[in-house]
Chain A
Amino acid sequence: MNAVECRELTRYFGRTVALNDLSFAIKKNTITGLVGPNGAGKTTLLKILCGHLRKTAGDVRVFSDDPFNSLKVSVNTVFIDDHLALPATLTIFDTLEAARLFYPNWDHRLALRLFEYFSFEPRKLHKDLSKGQKSTFNMILGLSARCALTIFDEPTVGMDTAVRRDFYRALLQDYLHHPRTIIFSSHLLGEIEDILEEILLLGEGRKCLHLPVAELRGYAVGVRGPAETVEHFIADRDLFRRERFGRDKIFVAVRNSFSGEALQEAGAMGLEVFPIPAEDLCVYLTARTKGGIDDVFSED
């Protein structure tokens, strides 16, 4: 059963296309990381899923409903980003109390315990919190609402490393006890990939990849060595990246379709072969050029 389904979902802002023919499905009770460079359409997608924005064309279903103006989607979805608008007049404690009344599955005990753990001053106003504190408070809202679809859009803005780690732990703990569909968009894939099950990679409004994280990890290998030997070794495999370094050495990232023997041979040929981290692969896959920023400085 799918929590989210998109078919040929397209969204324009004026003449700019933000989402382009996007088709994918997210299974119920999974944690999906939504990744991609700035401007890939991540936020647009998430805001369509929670009913804030309209689609231009295609089909979008959340719990089999069109999310735009759907109360069923609204009561089962919580959307947390760093622009979360909360009433300026309520203290953060009263804000928790208010949110409690909206969400039928709200876990107030969890909310209060997290509130205390992160040493929030109950009588403070949301606008008086620092950037990182705001993010932390919003995260408490998002977890405690316990919605069947929980969306975090860049939730860690301003959080320090310790709080980010706590957040990931809390998210995972709560998910294990109360499985639900979580979509998490972040630029820090390296930090969150351990808690993710699936990765949906967007680039320029299109789907680049949608894979279980485990598969993504073995998806590509890096090969480094003398240019000619490397070219010969990789033959005509899918090339994701090519960077020159030193006088005549190159580094390439290619689709990993090598046999075990081939990889052993590589060592003998004086090549270094190593796995490409998911985070780097995502950068390569969504880059406009195969050489990255180096191309800007290259003479040819």
Chain B
Amino acid sequence: MMSLARISLGGAVKQQYLFKLRAYANLFVSLVAVQIIALLFTTGGMVGMSGMGSEYLDLEIRFYSGAILFVFTALWIAVNAFVLTLPLSRHVDFSFVTNRLSSNLANFGFLVTAAVAGGVTVSLGSLLLRNVLYYTGGGSSLIIGANFLVRPDELLTGAAVGSLYLLLFGAAGYLAGALIQLHRSLYVLLPALVLGVLFYEAAHEQLRLLQVINFYRLEALPILFILKIVSSVLLLWSGAALLSNRTEIG
């Protein structure tokens, strides 16, 4: 006679989370790959360049920035968050012990881990970028010193802010995925809608999208910034969890 096993929601979430860390460990390898590609773009292409000159002088200023690195990492987390909502990923969860809520919560835990890994590596990546420029760009004499040196606390703040933004992108990707699972037509409609809005905004120069971005970007108070991001993420996640709580595992 077999007695029934018991499990709490917390226990199930923890088990699923640890399982995902093992099963999706390869995503962290892909993170490194994506960032290396981003750095190649940055050192090769440059973000901006201006040149001027006279008879005696030829001046060229090159701006390097970690922006591409961040954009690539944001895409990485958004795409992977999206993939976590696809039927195949759900199927794997349901091959073991889970319900829809614990599967979602474990995914959120995994996304937090991914965001922190992304934020820290983006921050460190900017150091790497400086090093690469130092050794390939002719040494310190040609680099503006004030921008070249980074204080440890700046590095830490960078990692934290980067992680928070990545969390936001991850949550957006996750909600998009959960939405698309609702009906097959949304596979076409949702991307079309997003692109449509972008083109419309660009064409009409109204850029309300910018206001959304500025809502986070221009926040001067750290605690408010954190609050804004965290509450947005929770909102996106709750939406996704509600949408997917009736999903069938075909």
Question: Which residues of chain B (57-107) have a CB below 8 Å from chain A?
Answer: 88, 91-92, 94-102
A148 to chain B, nearest CB (A): 5
Contact flag A63-B4 (CB < 8 Å), given A90-B23, A98-B22: yes
A129 to chain B, nearest CB (A): 15
A102 to B22 Cα, complex, angstroms: 14
A300 to B3 Cα, complex, angstroms: 59
Question: A84 contacts which chain B residues (CB < 8 A)?
Answer: 95
A72 to B9 Cα, complex, angstroms: 10
- Quick check: A71 and B4 within 8 Å, CB to CB? no
- Quick check: A98 and B23 within 8 Å, CB to CB? yes
- Quick check: B248 and A54 within 8 Å, CB to CB? yes
A147 to B95 Cα, complex, angstroms: 13
> A212 contacts the other chain (Cβ, under 8 Å)?
no
Contact flag A71-B102 (CB < 8 Å), given A85-B91, A104-B5, A104-B7: yes
Question: A146 contacts which chain B residues (CB < 8 A)?
Answer: 2
* A78-114 interface code vs B (CB 8 A; 1 in, 0 out): 0000011111011000100011011111000000000
Partner of A148 from the list B5, B88, B101, B102 (CB cut-off 8 Å) is: B5
- Quick check: B98 and A105 within 8 Å, CB to CB? no
- The binding surface of chain A is classed by DSSP as loop
Partner of A47 from the list B6, B99, B249 (CB cut-off 8 Å) is: B249
> A169 contacts the other chain (Cβ, under 8 Å)?
no
* B153-182 interface code vs A (CB 8 A; 1 in, 0 out): 000000000000000000000000000000
A178 to B9 Cα, complex, angstroms: 27
Question: B46 contacts which chain A residues (CB < 8 A)?
Answer: none
Number of interface residues of B (CB under 8 A): 35
Contact flag A86-B26 (CB < 8 Å), given A72-B6, A179-B2: no
Partner of A179 from the list B1, B91, B96, B250 (CB cut-off 8 Å) is: B1
- Quick check: B5 and A76 within 8 Å, CB to CB? yes
A94 to chain B, nearest CB (A): 7
- Quick check: A75 and B22 within 8 Å, CB to CB? no
Contact flag A102-B23 (CB < 8 Å), given A47-B249, A69-B101: no
Question: A69 contacts which chain B residues (CB < 8 A)?
Answer: 99-101, 245
> B24 contacts the other chain (Cβ, under 8 Å)?
yes
A223 to chain B, nearest CB (A): 44
Number of interface residues of A (CB under 8 A): 35
A146 to B3 Cα, complex, angstroms: 11
A146 to B5 Cα, complex, angstroms: 10
> A38 contacts the other chain (Cβ, under 8 Å)?
no
A178 to B3 Cα, complex, angstroms: 11
> B15 contacts the other chain (Cβ, under 8 Å)?
yes
Question: A178 contacts which chain B residues (CB < 8 A)?
Answer: 2
- For A73, the closest partner residue in chain B by CB is B99
> B19 contacts the other chain (Cβ, under 8 Å)?
yes
A101 to B9 Cα, complex, angstroms: 15
> B204 contacts the other chain (Cβ, under 8 Å)?
no
> B246 contacts the other chain (Cβ, under 8 Å)?
yes
> A70 contacts the other chain (Cβ, under 8 Å)?
yes
> B25 contacts the other chain (Cβ, under 8 Å)?
yes
A103 to B24 Cα, complex, angstroms: 21
- Quick check: A89 and B5 within 8 Å, CB to CB? no
A172 to chain B, nearest CB (A): 16
Taking beta carbons and an 8 Å cutoff, which residues of B are in contact with A?
Answer: 1-9, 12, 15, 18-19, 22-26, 88, 91-92, 94-102, 245-246, 248-250
26 contacts between A and B (CB under 8 A): A52-B248, A53-B249, A53-B250, A69-B245, A71-B12, A72-B6, A74-B98, A75-B5, A76-B5, A83-B91, A86-B95, A87-B22, A87-B92, A89-B25, A94-B22, A98-B19, A101-B15, A102-B15, A102-B96, A102-B97, A104-B6, A104-B7, A146-B2, A148-B2, A178-B2, A179-B1
Taking beta carbons and an 8 Å cutoff, which residues of A are in contact with B?
Answer: 29, 47, 51-54, 63, 69-72, 74-76, 83-87, 89-90, 94, 98-99, 101-105, 146-148, 178-180
